[in-house]
Chains A and B, each alone.
Chain A
Amino acid sequence: EAGVAQSPRYKIIEKRQSVAFWCNPISGHATLYWYQQILGQGPKLLIQFQNNGVVDDSQLPKDRFSAERLKGVDSTLKIQPAKLEDSAVYLCASSHPGTGNTEAFFGQGTRLTVV
């Protein structure tokens, strides 16, 4: 079974530029998550999708971050314009839908550096 795929693995951009990350979840997983992990901290949820609908985006900085999951499969996360504090690893995860009693599987992450 293929795992969660993310691209690119690394990205370096200047502040105020825009960037997009892509995620392909495990086949059949209806729930998809984007997490932000700042160096030395645990991951923090940015947005959660159930199929192509948003379940939780309470911690997504909506003035600069956006995400979509067209057709309930692949997802993209965009930052525009980027700030220095957006430097982090962006992790995508997926799981079967449920009431929290399911295992989450993570991709390799995208390391973003904003200079």
Chain B
Amino acid sequence: GDSVTQTEGQVALSEEDFLTIHCNYSASGYPTLFWYVQYPGEGPQLLFRASRDKEKGSSRGFEATYDKGTTSFHLRKASVQESDSAVYYCALSDRYGSSGNKLIFGIGTLLSVKP
């Protein structure tokens, strides 16, 4: 079945550091890819999405590029701030694949940023 792999369970950085969170996917169809962010005490919220190969999604200084060749959608930010501390989830939806209209999430990456 469809799946999402996030290799980093936790990431600890200092302010102004560069961030990369890796996300690879496996899907039988042509999925839409998402990044969600969850701040402490809140539910996850959409950061951005991408639906086509080479499409770049971006929001709040974060970005990721859909790469069908490497089946990846890595999250990057050039300079993190303490306020970026949160859990980040990569997810996919593959309407014509095994997951149908459902969203499949990765395990999440806890980002902690020190001032």
The answer to whether A and B belong to the same complex is: no
